[in-house]
Protein backbone atom coordinates (compact mmCIF):
# COMPACT_ATOMS: atom_id res chain seq x y z
CA UNK A 1 0.00 0.00 0.00
CA UNK A 2 2.84 2.38 0.83
CA UNK A 3 4.43 1.78 -2.59
CA UNK A 4 1.11 2.49 -4.28
CA UNK A 5 0.79 5.76 -2.37
CA UNK A 6 4.27 6.81 -3.48
CA UNK A 7 3.53 5.98 -7.12
CA UNK A 8 0.20 7.80 -7.16
CA UNK A 9 1.60 10.84 -5.34
CA UNK A 10 4.53 11.00 -7.76
CA UNK A 11 2.08 10.65 -10.63
CA UNK A 12 0.04 13.54 -9.26
CA UNK A 13 3.10 15.80 -9.14
CA UNK A 14 4.03 14.88 -12.70
CA UNK A 15 0.41 15.40 -13.74
CA UNK A 16 0.54 18.95 -12.38
CA UNK A 17 3.72 19.56 -14.40
CA UNK A 18 2.14 18.22 -17.60
CA UNK A 19 -0.89 20.46 -17.00
CA UNK A 20 1.35 23.50 -16.65
CA UNK A 21 3.09 22.69 -19.93
CA UNK A 22 -0.23 22.14 -21.71
CA UNK A 23 -1.59 25.52 -20.59
CA UNK A 24 1.50 27.18 -22.08
CA UNK A 25 0.87 25.65 -25.51
CA UNK A 26 -0.20 28.31 -28.01
CA UNK A 27 -1.71 25.96 -30.61
CA UNK A 28 -5.15 24.49 -30.04
CA UNK A 29 -5.36 26.22 -26.69
CA UNK A 30 -8.93 25.20 -25.88
CA UNK A 31 -8.29 21.45 -26.24
CA UNK A 32 -5.02 21.70 -24.32
CA UNK A 33 -6.63 23.61 -21.45
CA UNK A 34 -9.47 21.12 -21.22
CA UNK A 35 -6.84 18.40 -21.08
CA UNK A 36 -4.90 20.30 -18.41
CA UNK A 37 -8.01 20.52 -16.21
CA UNK A 38 -8.67 16.81 -16.77
CA UNK A 39 -5.14 15.86 -15.76
CA UNK A 40 -5.30 18.06 -12.64
CA UNK A 41 -8.60 16.47 -11.62
CA UNK A 42 -7.21 12.97 -12.23
CA UNK A 43 -4.05 13.82 -10.29
CA UNK A 44 -6.03 15.06 -7.29
CA UNK A 45 -8.26 11.99 -7.40
CA UNK A 46 -5.24 9.68 -7.57
CA UNK A 47 -3.97 11.11 -4.28
CA UNK A 48 -7.39 10.60 -2.66
CA UNK A 49 -7.51 7.02 -3.95
CA UNK A 50 -3.97 6.26 -2.85
CA UNK A 51 -4.55 7.59 0.67
CA UNK A 52 -8.06 6.19 1.05
CA UNK A 53 -7.64 5.18 4.71
CA UNK A 54 -9.49 5.97 7.93
CA UNK A 55 -6.49 7.71 9.49
CA UNK A 56 -5.91 9.94 6.48
CA UNK A 57 -9.47 11.28 6.34
CA UNK A 58 -9.69 11.68 10.12
CA UNK A 59 -6.59 13.84 9.83
CA UNK A 60 -7.92 15.74 6.80
CA UNK A 61 -11.71 15.52 7.19
CA UNK A 62 -12.45 18.28 4.68
CA UNK A 63 -11.04 16.05 1.91
CA UNK A 64 -13.66 13.38 2.56
CA UNK A 65 -16.24 12.98 -0.22
CA UNK A 66 -14.23 15.24 -2.53
CA UNK A 67 -13.49 12.00 -4.35
CA UNK A 68 -17.23 11.69 -5.02
CA UNK A 69 -17.28 15.00 -6.88
CA UNK A 70 -14.08 15.07 -8.97
CA UNK A 71 -14.88 11.98 -11.12
CA UNK A 72 -18.00 13.67 -12.49
CA UNK A 73 -15.61 15.91 -14.44
CA UNK A 74 -13.74 13.06 -16.13
CA UNK A 75 -16.34 11.97 -18.71
CA UNK A 76 -17.35 15.45 -19.90
CA UNK A 77 -13.72 16.61 -20.10
CA UNK A 78 -12.64 13.51 -22.06
CA UNK A 79 -15.51 13.99 -24.49
CA UNK A 80 -15.01 17.74 -24.91
CA UNK A 81 -11.27 17.25 -25.39
CA UNK A 82 -12.00 14.69 -28.13
CA UNK A 83 -14.41 17.08 -29.84
CA UNK A 84 -12.20 20.16 -29.64
CA UNK A 85 -8.92 18.49 -30.63
CA UNK A 86 -10.60 17.12 -33.79
CA UNK A 87 -12.38 20.37 -34.72
CA UNK A 88 -11.29 22.66 -37.50
CA UNK A 89 -12.29 25.78 -35.56
CA UNK A 90 -12.53 24.77 -31.91
CA UNK A 91 -14.21 27.17 -29.51
CA UNK A 92 -16.09 26.81 -26.26
CA UNK A 93 -19.84 27.16 -26.77
CA UNK A 94 -22.45 27.92 -24.08
CA UNK A 95 -24.09 24.53 -24.75
CA UNK A 96 -20.82 22.83 -23.73
CA UNK A 97 -21.66 23.81 -20.16
CA UNK A 98 -24.56 21.32 -20.26
CA UNK A 99 -22.01 18.53 -19.98
CA UNK A 100 -21.14 19.75 -16.49
CA UNK A 101 -24.68 19.40 -15.14
CA UNK A 102 -23.68 16.19 -13.27
CA UNK A 103 -20.81 18.05 -11.58
CA UNK A 104 -22.98 20.93 -10.39
CA UNK A 105 -25.78 18.55 -9.37
CA UNK A 106 -23.40 16.48 -7.27
CA UNK A 107 -21.92 19.64 -5.77
CA UNK A 108 -25.35 20.85 -4.63
CA UNK A 109 -26.23 17.44 -3.21
CA UNK A 110 -22.91 17.22 -1.33
CA UNK A 111 -22.80 20.88 -0.26
CA UNK A 112 -24.52 20.28 3.10
CA UNK A 113 -21.79 17.78 3.97
CA UNK A 114 -18.98 20.04 2.69
CA UNK A 115 -20.28 22.86 4.93
CA UNK A 116 -20.09 20.76 8.08
CA UNK A 117 -17.36 21.44 10.58
CA UNK A 118 -14.29 19.27 10.88
CA UNK A 119 -15.62 17.85 14.15
CA UNK A 120 -18.92 16.84 12.52
CA UNK A 121 -17.10 15.16 9.65
CA UNK A 122 -14.79 13.30 12.02
CA UNK A 123 -17.82 12.04 13.92
CA UNK A 124 -19.23 10.68 10.66
CA UNK A 125 -15.89 9.16 9.64
CA UNK A 126 -15.41 7.48 13.00
CA UNK A 127 -17.86 4.84 11.80
CA UNK A 128 -15.53 4.02 8.93
CA UNK A 129 -17.44 0.90 7.94
CA UNK A 130 -20.62 2.90 7.30
CA UNK A 131 -18.63 5.64 5.53
CA UNK A 132 -17.06 3.00 3.30
CA UNK A 133 -20.48 1.57 2.43
CA UNK A 134 -21.63 5.08 1.49
CA UNK A 135 -18.73 5.25 -0.97
CA UNK A 136 -20.50 2.57 -2.99
CA UNK A 137 -23.91 4.23 -2.85
CA UNK A 138 -26.17 5.48 -5.61
CA UNK A 139 -24.18 8.62 -6.44
CA UNK A 140 -20.97 6.79 -7.24
CA UNK A 141 -22.92 4.14 -9.12
CA UNK A 142 -24.40 6.88 -11.30
CA UNK A 143 -20.86 8.21 -11.81
CA UNK A 144 -19.90 4.86 -13.35
CA UNK A 145 -22.79 5.21 -15.80
CA UNK A 146 -21.68 8.76 -16.67
CA UNK A 147 -18.14 7.52 -17.38
CA UNK A 148 -19.27 4.75 -19.73
CA UNK A 149 -21.75 7.02 -21.52
CA UNK A 150 -19.18 9.70 -22.26
CA UNK A 151 -16.57 7.17 -23.40
CA UNK A 152 -19.11 5.77 -25.89
CA UNK A 153 -19.96 9.31 -27.07
CA UNK A 154 -16.26 10.00 -27.62
CA UNK A 155 -15.85 6.80 -29.67
CA UNK A 156 -18.89 7.69 -31.78
CA UNK A 157 -17.47 11.16 -32.37
CA UNK A 158 -14.15 9.72 -33.54
CA UNK A 159 -16.00 7.38 -35.93
CA UNK A 160 -17.82 10.35 -37.45
CA UNK A 161 -14.62 12.35 -37.51
CA UNK A 162 -12.88 9.69 -39.59
CA UNK A 163 -15.59 9.97 -42.22
CA UNK A 164 -15.32 13.75 -42.11
CA UNK A 165 -11.59 13.81 -42.87
CA UNK A 166 -12.11 11.40 -45.78
CA UNK A 167 -14.56 13.93 -47.22
CA UNK A 168 -12.30 16.96 -46.66
CA UNK A 169 -8.63 15.99 -46.75
CA UNK A 170 -6.37 14.24 -49.22
CA UNK A 171 -3.85 13.39 -46.48
CA UNK A 172 -5.33 11.72 -43.41
CA UNK A 173 -2.53 12.38 -40.92
CA UNK A 174 -3.30 8.84 -39.75
CA UNK A 175 -0.99 8.78 -36.76
CA UNK A 176 -2.77 11.68 -35.14
CA UNK A 177 -6.19 10.17 -35.64
CA UNK A 178 -5.08 6.71 -34.58
CA UNK A 179 -3.56 7.81 -31.28
CA UNK A 180 -6.82 9.54 -30.39
CA UNK A 181 -8.90 6.48 -31.24
CA UNK A 182 -6.51 4.17 -29.39
CA UNK A 183 -6.60 6.48 -26.40
CA UNK A 184 -10.40 6.51 -26.10
CA UNK A 185 -10.56 2.76 -26.67
CA UNK A 186 -8.03 2.26 -23.87
CA UNK A 187 -10.02 4.59 -21.62
CA UNK A 188 -13.21 2.69 -22.39
CA UNK A 189 -11.57 -0.64 -21.52
CA UNK A 190 -10.13 0.88 -18.34
CA UNK A 191 -13.55 2.21 -17.35
CA UNK A 192 -15.16 -1.19 -17.85
CA UNK A 193 -12.49 -2.72 -15.63
CA UNK A 194 -12.97 0.04 -13.08
CA UNK A 195 -16.72 -0.63 -12.93
CA UNK A 196 -16.05 -4.36 -12.45
CA UNK A 197 -13.63 -3.59 -9.62
CA UNK A 198 -16.12 -1.12 -8.08
CA UNK A 199 -18.88 -3.72 -7.83
CA UNK A 200 -16.43 -6.42 -6.76
CA UNK A 201 -15.46 -4.20 -3.85
CA UNK A 202 -19.09 -3.37 -3.13
CA UNK A 203 -20.09 -7.05 -2.94
CA UNK A 204 -16.80 -8.24 -1.38
CA UNK A 205 -15.81 -10.51 -4.25
CA UNK A 206 -12.36 -11.92 -3.42
CA UNK A 207 -9.23 -11.35 -5.54
CA UNK A 208 -10.83 -8.76 -7.84
CA UNK A 209 -11.58 -6.36 -5.00
CA UNK A 210 -7.86 -6.31 -4.20
CA UNK A 211 -7.33 -4.37 -7.43
CA UNK A 212 -9.59 -1.54 -6.26
CA UNK A 213 -6.74 0.88 -5.61
CA UNK A 214 -4.19 -0.55 -8.04
CA UNK A 215 -6.38 -0.16 -11.13
CA UNK A 216 -5.86 3.58 -10.80
CA UNK A 217 -2.27 3.17 -11.96
CA UNK A 218 -3.73 2.47 -15.43
CA UNK A 219 -5.51 5.83 -15.27
CA UNK A 220 -2.22 7.58 -14.52
CA UNK A 221 -0.50 5.84 -17.44
CA UNK A 222 -3.39 6.81 -19.69
CA UNK A 223 -3.26 10.48 -18.74
CA UNK A 224 0.49 10.66 -19.32
CA UNK A 225 -0.08 9.14 -22.72
CA UNK A 226 -2.53 11.95 -23.53
CA UNK A 227 -0.15 14.59 -22.25
CA UNK A 228 2.79 13.22 -24.21
CA UNK A 229 0.85 13.09 -27.47
CA UNK A 230 -0.62 16.54 -27.00
CA UNK A 231 2.81 18.01 -26.31
CA UNK A 232 4.77 16.08 -28.95
CA UNK A 233 2.32 16.35 -31.88
CA UNK A 234 0.42 19.33 -33.29
CA UNK A 235 -3.35 19.27 -33.36
CA UNK A 236 -5.19 17.10 -35.89
CA UNK A 237 -6.57 20.14 -37.66
CA UNK A 238 -4.08 22.98 -37.81
CA UNK A 239 -5.14 26.26 -39.35
CA UNK A 240 -1.67 26.60 -40.83
CA UNK A 241 -2.10 23.34 -42.71
CA UNK A 242 -5.19 24.55 -44.53
CA UNK A 243 -3.51 27.14 -46.74
CA UNK A 244 -6.37 28.53 -48.74
CA UNK A 245 -5.70 29.68 -52.26
CA UNK A 246 -8.13 32.48 -53.03
CA UNK A 247 -7.48 32.53 -56.77
CA UNK A 248 -10.11 30.86 -58.95
CA UNK A 249 -8.89 29.47 -62.22
CA UNK A 250 -11.31 30.04 -65.12
CA UNK A 251 -12.38 26.77 -66.69
CA UNK A 252 -14.87 25.73 -69.32
CA UNK A 253 -17.14 22.67 -69.37
CA UNK A 254 -16.15 19.45 -71.09
CA UNK A 255 -17.97 16.19 -71.56
CA UNK A 256 -19.86 14.84 -68.57
CA UNK A 257 -18.00 12.33 -66.42
CA UNK A 258 -18.94 8.70 -66.17
CA UNK A 259 -20.59 7.92 -62.79
CA UNK A 260 -18.46 5.67 -60.61
CA UNK A 261 -19.32 1.99 -60.65
CA UNK A 262 -21.86 1.11 -57.93
CA UNK A 263 -22.37 4.78 -57.16
CA UNK A 264 -25.55 5.66 -55.33
CA UNK A 265 -28.35 7.52 -57.12
CA UNK A 266 -27.99 11.29 -57.33
CA UNK A 267 -29.45 13.08 -54.28
CA UNK A 268 -29.43 16.68 -55.44
CA UNK A 269 -33.17 17.07 -55.38
CA UNK A 270 -33.01 17.13 -51.56
CA UNK A 271 -30.02 19.47 -51.43
CA UNK A 272 -31.45 22.04 -53.87
CA UNK A 273 -28.87 21.38 -56.63
CA UNK A 274 -30.53 20.61 -59.99
CA UNK A 275 -29.01 17.58 -61.68
CA UNK A 276 -28.01 19.72 -64.66
CA UNK A 277 -26.08 22.09 -62.40
CA UNK A 278 -24.45 19.15 -60.63
CA UNK A 279 -23.32 17.77 -63.99
CA UNK A 280 -21.87 21.16 -64.87
CA UNK A 281 -19.99 21.28 -61.59
CA UNK A 282 -18.62 17.80 -62.23
CA UNK A 283 -17.45 18.81 -65.72
CA UNK A 284 -15.74 21.91 -64.36
CA UNK A 285 -14.14 19.89 -61.60
CA UNK A 286 -12.71 17.19 -63.87
CA UNK A 287 -11.37 19.73 -66.33
CA UNK A 288 -9.65 21.64 -63.53
CA UNK A 289 -8.11 18.44 -62.17
CA UNK A 290 -6.70 17.34 -65.53
CA UNK A 291 -5.52 20.82 -66.52
CA UNK A 292 -4.10 22.22 -63.26
CA UNK A 293 -3.15 18.99 -61.43
CA UNK A 294 -3.77 20.41 -57.95
CA UNK A 295 -3.40 16.91 -56.46
CA UNK A 296 0.39 17.34 -56.72
CA UNK A 297 0.06 19.57 -53.63
CA UNK A 298 0.42 17.03 -50.79
CA UNK A 299 -1.77 18.89 -48.28
CA UNK A 300 -4.61 19.72 -50.68
CA UNK A 301 -8.04 20.01 -49.05
CA UNK A 302 -11.65 20.22 -50.12
CA UNK A 303 -11.64 23.89 -49.16
CA UNK A 304 -8.64 24.50 -51.44
CA UNK A 305 -10.44 22.79 -54.32
CA UNK A 306 -13.58 24.83 -53.66
CA UNK A 307 -11.56 28.06 -53.75
CA UNK A 308 -9.76 27.03 -56.93
CA UNK A 309 -12.83 25.94 -58.91
CA UNK A 310 -15.32 28.44 -57.57
CA UNK A 311 -17.71 25.64 -56.61
CA UNK A 312 -19.27 26.06 -53.13
CA UNK A 313 -17.70 23.61 -50.69
CA UNK A 314 -20.91 21.80 -49.74
CA UNK A 315 -21.92 21.48 -53.42
CA UNK A 316 -18.46 20.24 -54.32
CA UNK A 317 -18.60 17.59 -51.62
CA UNK A 318 -21.98 16.38 -52.88
CA UNK A 319 -20.76 16.25 -56.47
CA UNK A 320 -17.75 14.13 -55.51
CA UNK A 321 -19.78 11.88 -53.22
CA UNK A 322 -22.94 11.42 -55.27
CA UNK A 323 -22.05 12.21 -58.89
CA UNK A 324 -18.64 10.52 -58.86
CA UNK A 325 -19.40 8.01 -56.10
CA UNK A 326 -16.25 8.71 -54.06
CA UNK A 327 -15.06 10.63 -51.04
CA UNK A 328 -12.56 13.45 -51.42
CA UNK A 329 -9.65 11.37 -50.15
CA UNK A 330 -10.18 8.66 -52.77
CA UNK A 331 -10.91 11.18 -55.52
CA UNK A 332 -7.61 13.04 -55.06
CA UNK A 333 -5.46 9.99 -54.42
CA UNK A 334 -6.67 8.18 -57.53
CA UNK A 335 -5.12 11.02 -59.52
CA UNK A 336 -1.94 10.74 -57.48
CA UNK A 337 -1.71 7.00 -58.07
CA UNK A 338 -2.19 7.53 -61.80
CA UNK A 339 0.55 10.17 -61.77
CA UNK A 340 2.85 7.79 -59.88
CA UNK A 341 2.20 5.02 -62.39
CA UNK A 342 3.13 7.35 -65.23
CA UNK A 343 6.36 8.25 -63.44
CA UNK A 344 7.20 4.60 -62.84
CA UNK A 345 6.69 3.89 -66.55
CA UNK A 346 8.71 6.89 -67.69
CA UNK A 347 12.36 6.11 -68.50
CA UNK A 348 13.34 9.64 -67.52
CA UNK A 349 12.42 8.84 -63.90
CA UNK A 350 13.87 5.34 -63.67
CA UNK A 351 16.58 6.61 -61.32
CA UNK A 352 13.94 7.87 -58.85
CA UNK A 353 13.43 5.99 -55.59
CA UNK A 354 9.92 4.96 -54.53
CA UNK A 355 9.90 7.83 -52.02
CA UNK A 356 10.90 10.32 -54.72
CA UNK A 357 8.10 9.07 -56.98
CA UNK A 358 5.64 9.36 -54.09
CA UNK A 359 6.61 12.96 -53.35
CA UNK A 360 6.58 13.88 -57.04
CA UNK A 361 3.03 12.49 -57.37
CA UNK A 362 1.74 14.51 -54.41
CA UNK A 363 1.99 12.05 -51.52
CA UNK A 364 3.47 13.21 -48.22
CA UNK A 365 5.14 9.95 -47.17
CA UNK A 366 6.24 6.58 -48.51
CA UNK A 367 3.98 4.74 -46.05
CA UNK A 368 0.87 6.59 -47.20
CA UNK A 369 1.89 6.12 -50.84
CA UNK A 370 2.33 2.35 -50.45
CA UNK A 371 -0.94 1.98 -48.57
CA UNK A 372 -3.05 4.03 -50.99
CA UNK A 373 -1.37 2.61 -54.10
CA UNK A 374 -2.06 -0.97 -53.02
CA UNK A 375 -5.64 -0.19 -52.00
CA UNK A 376 -6.41 1.31 -55.41
CA UNK A 377 -4.41 -1.02 -57.69
CA UNK A 378 -4.16 -4.19 -55.62
CA UNK A 379 -0.34 -4.23 -55.75
CA UNK A 380 2.47 -2.20 -54.22
CA UNK A 381 4.41 0.44 -56.18
CA UNK A 382 7.48 -1.83 -56.16
CA UNK A 383 5.47 -4.73 -57.59
CA UNK A 384 4.03 -2.41 -60.24
CA UNK A 385 7.51 -1.18 -61.23
CA UNK A 386 8.94 -4.72 -61.26
CA UNK A 387 6.05 -5.99 -63.36
CA UNK A 388 6.61 -3.31 -65.95
CA UNK A 389 10.31 -4.24 -66.17
CA UNK A 390 9.36 -7.87 -66.78
CA UNK A 391 6.96 -6.87 -69.55
CA UNK A 392 9.64 -4.75 -71.20
Query: Minimal CA–CA distance to 329: which of 355, 354, 362, 292?
Result: 362
3-state secondary structure (DSSP) of residue 88: coil
Q: Tell me, what's the pLDDT at 231?
A: 65
Between vectors from CA 123 to CA 121 and to CA 126, what angle results, nearest 5°? 110
Q: Tell me, what's the pLDDT at 272?
A: 58
The Cα–Cα gap between 379 and 291 comes to 28
List, in order, residues 6 or more apart from 184 with CB less than 8 Å away: 78, 82, 151, 154, 155, 158
The Cα–Cα gap between 242 and 49 comes to 44
List, in order, residues 6 or more apart from 54 with CB less than 8 Å away: 125, 128
Which domains occur in the chain, in start order?
2-232 (1.20.1070), 242-326 (no CATH), 328-392 (1.10.10.60)
Q: Tell me, what's the pLDDT at 329?
A: 92
Helices and strands of the chain, counted as H and E runs: 19, 0
List, in order, residues 6 or more apart from 312 with CB less than 8 Å away: 306
pLDDT along the chain (392 residues), means of 10: 78 84 83 90 88 90 95 94 85 95 97 96 89 90 94 92 83 63 84 85 71 70 70 48 36 38 44 81 94 92 93 92 91 95 91 93 91 93 78 38
The Cα–Cα gap between 322 and 269 comes to 12
φ, ψ for residue 188, nearest 5 deg: -60, -45
Q: Tell me, what's the pLDDT at 106?
A: 97
The DSSP letter of residue 46 is H
Helix (H) / strand (E) containing 312: none
pTM of the model: 0.74
Query: Minimal CA–CA distance to 73: which of 114, 111, 43, 29?
Result: 43
The Cα–Cα gap between 336 and 188 comes to 38
Q: Are 316 and 306 in contact (CB under 8 A)?
A: yes
Amino acid sequence: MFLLQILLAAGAVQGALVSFLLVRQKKNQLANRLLAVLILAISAQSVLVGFDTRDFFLRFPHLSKVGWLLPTLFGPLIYLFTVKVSSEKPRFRPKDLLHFIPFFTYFLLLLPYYLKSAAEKRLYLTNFEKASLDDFGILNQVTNFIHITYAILALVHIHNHKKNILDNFSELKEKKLNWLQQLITFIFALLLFSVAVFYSKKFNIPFVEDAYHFHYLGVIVCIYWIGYKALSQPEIFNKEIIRQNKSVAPVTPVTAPEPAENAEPVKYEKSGIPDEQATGYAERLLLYMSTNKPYLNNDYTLQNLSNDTGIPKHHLSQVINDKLGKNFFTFINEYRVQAAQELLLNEQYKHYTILAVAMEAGFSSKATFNSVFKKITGITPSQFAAGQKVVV
